[in-house]
Amino acid sequence: MSSFVLIPGAGGAAWYWSHVVPLLQGAGHQAVAVDLPGDDESAGLAEYTSLVVEAIGEHHGVVLVAQSLGAFTAPLVCEKASVGELVLVNAMIPAPGETPGAWWDNTGWAEAQQSAAKAHGYSTGFDTDTYFLHDIPPEITAEGEAHQRPEANAVFESACTFTAWPGIPTRVLSGEGDRFFPLDFQRRVARERLGIEPDVVPGGHLLALANPEGVAEYLLRR
C-alpha cells in the first residue's frame, strides 16, 4: 500500500483531485488531497508547505503529486517530510530561489503559449473555456464552480527557497493537449531544469479532471 499526497495548483482547491483520489483509494492505497488557502494574501509558499507537511504527518515514503503551481511547494515539502517519490503534473517547475511570478518570463512561457495557439488555431487571448475547460466534461465543470477561487499575489511573490532538487525518484507528467503549458514547452523546461523527459497522457491543463483514469493509472505505475 502506498500513501499519496496531492497538491493542487492555483486557487488551492483540493477538489481538483476529487476524481483521482477515489481511484487511488479503490486500488487499495491511501490518498489525500491538500486544500490550500489560495485566496489568502497572508499565505505564501512557506504556509503552503506547512499544510502539506502536516497532511503527510508520520507517513514515510509518500508519493507527493503536484499540479501546475503546486510544483513550487513540492521541493520545500521534500526538505521537511519523508517523500519517496515526486510526481509533477503540467508543472511550473521552479529553479532554486525563483518566485512563481518570475517563472513566466524566466521560462519563456508567453512566447511558447502564443506560438502554440497560432499553430493549432485557437485564440491567443486567454479565456478559461479555451485554455482550461476545453476538454472537461460539462458536468464536472458545473461541479467545480463552487470550488473556484482566485490565487492571491502573495504566492507569486514568494521565493522557493530550496538549493537543489531532492535526490529522490521524480517523474514529470504532461497533458498532450495542454494549451496553457503547451507540450513542447513542458518538455523543454523539464529537460532544462530536471534533466527529465516528461511522460505524456491525453488531456489538457486540468489533467486530473479531463483524464482522471489516465492520471490514476500513471500514478499507480511504479
Contacts of 128 (CB under 8 A, 6+ apart): none
pLDDT of residue 164: 95
pLDDT of residue 1: 86
pLDDT of residue 103: 98
Are 7 and 34 a contacting pair, CB within 8 Å? yes
pTM of the model: 0.97
pLDDT of residue 60: 95
pLDDT of residue 39: 93
pLDDT of residue 222: 74
Q: Average pLDDT by consecutive 10-residue portion of the chain (222 residues)?
A: 96 98 98 96 96 96 98 98 98 98 98 97 94 96 93 95 95 98 98 98 98 98 82
Q: How far is CA 71 from CA 3, 9, 26, 203, in A?
A: 18, 8, 26, 19
Q: How far is CA 176 from CA 110, 186, 189, 205, in A?
A: 18, 10, 15, 9
